[in-house]
Amino acid sequence: MKIFVDADACPVQREVVQVAGEMELEVVFVKSFSHFSHDDWPAYVDTLYVDPGVDSADYKILALVKEGDLVITQDYGLASLCLPKKCIVLHHKGFRFTEHNIGRLLESRHISAMARQAGQRTKGPRAFTDEDRRKFARKLKQTIEQIK
């Protein structure tokens, strides 16, 4: 099992690296060249850069993941494409995408997009907190332990 991270806007990269190190798993960060960084990660962490583009990182992740891999993303569309490949998909807020909730999540995203196109204001996500980070790290560790 590898952990693939949709890393362009992922706020829990350090938590993923820490848990992966404890669990002896490889991590692959996939991000656009426009999000280039000089972060110095341990040897079990690879960073793959893709061309700038709306879904470039998503397509790269989709091409690389295999059954049983773990994907960290906040992108409902990417999650919906990874689930049929039998990947485990976690959101950085600490919940797991499943075949049972992905349809509702995609529908909610669509309804919000339609409302914005019609000129309505929609709420954005609430601020990401330290408690959210801890919740994610616990969920990630728990998920990996269940799989192993």
Residue 133: band (very low, low, confident or very high) from pLDDT cuts 50, 70, 90:
very high
Give the mean pLDDT of the chain.
Answer: 91
Domain of 111: which CATH number?
A: 3.40.50
User: Residues 115-125: pLDDT tens digits?
Assistant: 778 888 777 77
User: Residues 51-78: pLDDT tens digits?
Assistant: 988 889 999 999 999 999 999 999 989 9
Residue 120's domain comprises 2-147
User: Residues 10-20: pLDDT tens digits?
Assistant: 999 999 999 99
Number of domains in the chain: 1
Secondary structure, 3-state, the chain: CEEEEECCCCCCHHHHHHHHHHHCCEEEEEEEHHHCCCCCCCCCEEEEEECCCCCHHHHHHHHHCCCCCEEECCCHHHHHHHHHHCCEEECCCCCEECCCCHHHHHHHHHHHHHHHHCCCCCCCCCCCCHHHHHHHHHHHHHHHHHHC
Distance of CA 68 to the CA centre of its chain: 15
Distance of CA 20 to the CA centre of its chain: 14
105 has a pLDDT exceeding 80? no
